[in-house]
Amino acid sequence: MVPLDLWCRGNFPSPHEEDAASDVTEGHDEEDQMYEGEYQGIPHPDEVKAAQRAARAKARGAGSVISELEELSQQYEEIMEDCGHGKFQWTLFIVLGLALMADGVECFVVSFALPSAEKDLCLSNADKGMLGLIVFLSMMAGAFLWGGLADKVGRRRCLLVALAINCVFAFLSSFAQGYGFFLFFRLLSGIGIGGTVPIVYSYFSEFLQMDKRGEHLSWLCMFWMVGGIYASFTAWGIIPRYGWGFSMGTEFQFHSWRVFILVAALPAIASLVGLTFMPESPRFLLENAKHDEAWMILKQVHDTNWRAKGQPEKVFTVTHIKAPKTAEDEFIEIQSATGTPVQRWAVRSLTLCKLVLRNVASLLSAELRFATLFMAIIWFCMAFSYYGLSVWFPDMIKHLQYEENLSKVKVFHKERVENFHFNFSLENQIHKEGEYIHDKFISIEIKSVKFEDSLFEDCRFEDIRSTDTVFENCTIRSTVFYNTDLWEEKFIDCTMENTSFEHNKLGCHLDTVEENDVLIYLVSFLGSLAVLPGNIISALFMEKIGRVKIIGGSMLISAGCTFFLFLSSSQSAIIALQCLFCGVSVAAWNGIEVVTVELYPTSKRATAFGVLNALCKLAAVLGSSIFASFVGITKAVPILLSFTALVCGGLVALKLPDTREKVLQ
């Protein structure tokens, strides 16, 4: 932006120059004077950049002696301005966006697959809870690990390895036939994908000039929303299609939910392929004294952009870039120059671990302590409330469905049915003290039915599929159960006389309640789609309003939205409030991620992002566990907790420094 005084001087002469201007323009009409004045006063974009550079140079000259790293930061910003924003950045935007999309998909994969997978893998409630927990814990570990390594090994290299790990183990998990292997493969898959968020934002920001950074990082955030939509849409289109699979005997089953897991890995695969054609961050290379490699990449960025703009003749004029040598890399090289290959690998790995941990500890150094503390509070508060409510919304919908079903339960008392053929399904019923004599139950489904204190005499149950069905304190005489899933566990305190069970159905003996899959997918889809308006608004106003105001304002408005939850008494109301909350709170997420990138220097950027993102996942685990425990008990506790967390985080955010005009250090 051109300074106001410069713009004014371009349009209006000073009082001392006014008379001279009149003499020079004598004989010209008024229209010519207006035209000339306007033409001379409109600055060319190159003049704007030159003025900005001159202002930065003047500021540097007025201050004390600057360090080599500060000089490098200023020079790098000027180089990125010369390279421009064009085809190269947009290509990288798509590639890294797919990686971020894969992270969004990972958060939904297990929850979408569980309703269908629980019978195949014979999952208890504890097993299902562990699977949901392991997703966030593994992503937490991955964020910490890959964020730290990216500052020492390189953004591109770490992202390639992280995506490869995710793809390989996501593929293997789709074929895992046992719970143990499935859990192990999803754990490793989560560790891989956990590194995408801290690396992607650090990587992309280092190819952006200052005036483009906030907006385009915000557009990049939109891919996480696209990942949620993609997961919801593919789950709805694939999982209910029971014919989309195959089996090899009774030991190997490949059902539609496994196909969904394979399809869910496609964004990560696409990003992995695209990333092989992308270069390393030149800012990272310069930080590690790799001048020649950085120069070649910057030239590639420059030439790609200007060629796409129709100006291939524009020459990359940079000949020298300040690149300080770091002692840490020398230490690794010295230590790894002797010994056997195994010893060199061990020494290098140990040294790398020490450097990563030292980098983590440096986040609490005097110059970064308050920034790290403030960002930790903001990340934790936002994640605690956001993920807590994200679990609470669908759980409340399930609870309302359960209450609705309870209100529709039909109770039959002391009924006597004799010589009757049941050829219709029984659902949502309670039968007390009934008598069933010479009856047949053939090829039907018995769902959510309870028989209490009843008598079954000379009956036949054949080809029965049951869900949430029990026989309690019943007497069963001369009855045959043929090809049913009415296992021993479903008969509680029952008396059996001359009763036989023949060809029981194979499979899991745990009883499962089928859920409304379409509603689950719809709720997630609408929640993800509701983020779109907030994403667009935050991206357009990130530079105009500022990151700090967007974060604080979004969190405080989101806190106000939580009180509307007291009015939610129906499924449609909860879905509407979920969309409102997600749409408002996404602006805060965008601002938080932009500020996290801008607050930290290049040598610590990915590490800080990884640590804060790991803290975010920990807060997500705590929030989802606490909020879920109050479903069906009270709304007040989740609402007050989320309100308090959002207000606290929003007020702290308003204390952050404005980083709009800050050159990446």
Given a cut of 90, whether residue 52 has pLDDT beyond it is no
Give tens-digit pLDDT for 261-310: 999 999 999 999 999 999 999 999 988 888 889 899 999 999 998 898 88
DSSP class per residue in 185-222: HHHHHHHHHTTHHHHHHHHHHTTS-HHHHHHHHHHHHH
How many C-beta atoms lie closer than 10 Å to residue 68's C-beta? Answer: 11
Pick the closest to residue 111 from 267, 195, 255, 232 (CA basis).
Answer: 232
Tell me how far apart the alpha carbons of residues 549 and 595 are, in angstroms, rounded to a whole number: 11
Tell me how far apart the alpha carbons of residues 16 and 373 are, in angstroms, rounded to a whole number: 54
User: Which runs of consecutive H residues, i.e. helices, occur in 493-604?
Assistant: 517-529, 531-545, 547-562, 571-599
* Residue 143 Cα distances to 111, 265, 391, 612, angstroms: 21, 19, 22, 9
> Lowest mean pLDDT: which of 18-27, 449-458, 539-548?
18-27
- Which is higher by pLDDT, 468 or 507? 468
Tell me how far apart the alpha carbons of residues 321 and 16 are, in angstroms, rounded to a whole number: 44
- Two structure tokens written together for 465: 């599929």
Tell me how far apart the alpha carbons of residues 421 and 439 are, in angstroms, rounded to a whole number: 6
Strands 455-457 and 475-477: parallel
> What average pLDDT does range 163-172 have in this prediction?
95
Give tens-digit pLDDT for 128-144: 888 888 888 999 999 99
> Lowest mean pLDDT: which of 237-251, 452-466, 628-642?
237-251
Percent of the chain with pLDDT over 90: 37
Tell me how far apart the alpha carbons of residues 383 and 460 are, in angstroms, rounded to a whole number: 55
Dmax (CA) of the chain: 123
**What's at 34, amino acid-wise?**
M
Average pLDDT taken over every residue of the chain: 82
- Two structure tokens written together for 466: 């049951």
- Which is higher by pLDDT, 338 or 543? 543
φ and ψ at residue 491, rounded to 5 degrees: -110, 110
Please, are residues 595 and 551 in contact by the beta-carbon 8 Å criterion? yes
Please, are residues 478 and 499 in contact by the beta-carbon 8 Å criterion? yes
Q: Return the half-sphere exposure (C-beta side, CA atoms, 13 A cut-off) of residue 339.
A: 12
- pLDDT for the residue numbered 160: 96
- pLDDT for the residue numbered 55: 52
Q: Where on the phi/psi map is residue 428: left (φ > 0), alpha (ψ -120 to 50), or beta? A: left
Q: pTM (2 decimals)?
A: 0.80
pLDDT category of residue 325 using cuts at 50, 70 and 90? low
